[in-house]
Structure 1
């Protein structure tokens, strides 16, 4: 599991211990973007005592998408056949990872979803819930993809899936990275499955969501949607 971190000193120990206890055979790759609060050093201490934990240090905070792409490359080079994503703040419960692993038997990408039947959220205000629901509805309508929670970050990819994606062309740095990757998988004709999870809002530390991150998401999704509509129109004109 690739776990990006930036200032998660209060959470990283607990999430790694829970992950290793929930699925003992799992390997964790912490990708730390130069956290000034010592997250990387804490992770290194844990890795020194556990050969299933590895830490990659990046020099600066370059965004969620860049951290994941870096982690994917490290995991691919290491030969892993299943590569996942999860947050470091406890929002994604390691105890639910077996649900995603079971679903991967019939999928190329599995998403732990808040917005499919059975999915739920804990400790979110209604304003944030409707922002997420509305954002995902916008994604479905504009991009024409049948994914209820395209912005979710609890995921498992098959190795072959990531190898088919041109990771060098991924430019999404913020949370829109999740939508970008799900869309790329579907455009390749691969199978995406969503399984319901309980998403728990972080108890410690600060959220990385910001106005700039939200603006990037809206801007990129709109651009992708307009581009897709242009392709559809071109195909229609060509057929007539």
Structure 2
């Protein structure tokens, strides 16, 4: 029996989507072929994709589509889905992008690892090919270095890659205490703050592909805006890291002595 034939009552796939282009339909079909259930949170899209996704969901009980009236940001869309998931009894959510960059075929692998280690977050470790923009590949190393410093190297392999399985309750608890984490800053801040909360990271390699516009690829990344957002986020996180440093050092020491 395929995973898509047997609906999970604990783990779901959560896809935030904003003006994703035509790739979204392939993404959702591939996710549904790999898992059941799949939920899509349409974050105020005005490109017609909401209507197309709603039509897909009408004939598929394993697909749920929620449409937000206005664009609120990736993190806000994920939080909306997480709250619904918690209310429905789900304990874990795998997040993935809607633009086709993330490999739906890896969903069962990540879900199985999450089921084996339910207290952990399972982070995708991106394996880039020639399609990846070099500037973004090198730029993410800066964010990764900050994230590892802020957690005293607890093991965040990649702070920005959004193909992940999160424990639902701890992530909601973290996000509801923050004013940030609602847009592009969601992924790295979620990883850091969950580490602070004691949720261990587990890293699994994961291929990623960037599509050119001629292939239907869509990117909403803005180098100036989003890098400034990341800079503000890491400034905020570093201040929090300094406040937590004695406790983080103590935890690292007790973990080493216990082993």
| TM-score bracket for this pair, using the shorter chain length | 0.7 to 0.9
Q: How many pairs were matched up?
A: 229
Q: CA deviation at 1:138?
A: 2.7
- Show the counterpart of 1:153: 162
Q: CA deviation at 1:142?
A: 4.2
Structure 1 residues 155-174: aligned runs within 5 Å? 155-162=164-171, 165-170=173-178, 171-174=180-183
- Say whether residues 1:7 and 2:19 are aligned partners: yes
CA displacement 1:61-112 (0-9 Å, x = unmatched)? 1111111111111111122232110000111110011221222112521011
- Show the counterpart of 2:193: 184
Q: CA deviation at 1:113?
A: 1.1
CA displacement 1:33-72 (0-9 Å, x = unmatched)? 2211111111100000101111111111111111111111
Structure 1 residues 1-240: aligned runs within 5 Å? 1-23=13-35, 26-104=36-114, 105-106=116-117, 107-114=119-126, 119-145=127-153, 146-162=155-171, 165-170=173-178, 171-202=180-211, 203-210=215-222, 211-232=224-245
Whose relative contact order is higher, 1 or 2, with alpha carbons under 8 Å and at least 6 apart?
1
- State the distance in 1 between where 2:164 and 2:75 align: 14
Structure 2 CA distance for partners of 1:209 and 1:183, relative to 1, 3 Å: same
Q: CA deviation at 1:231?
A: 4.1
Q: CA deviation at 1:161?
A: 3.7
> The residue matched to 1:197 in structure 2 has which SS?
strand
Structure 2 CA distance for partners of 1:231 and 1:22, relative to 1, 3 Å: closer
* Greater CA drift, 201-210 or 190-199: 201-210
Gaps of 5+ in 1: none
Q: CA deviation at 1:122?
A: 4.6
Q: Is the 8 A contact 2:54 2:65 kept in 1?
A: yes
Q: Is the 8 A contact 1:82 1:157 kept in 2?
A: yes
Q: CA deviation at 1:230?
A: 4.1
CA displacement 1:93-145 (0-9 Å, x = unmatched)? 1001122122211252101112xxxx334501322211112321232234534
CA displacement 1:187-219 (0-9 Å, x = unmatched)? 122221010000111342421211212211111
Q: CA deviation at 1:162?
A: 3.6
Q: CA deviation at 1:15?
A: 0.7
Q: CA deviation at 1:179?
A: 1.4
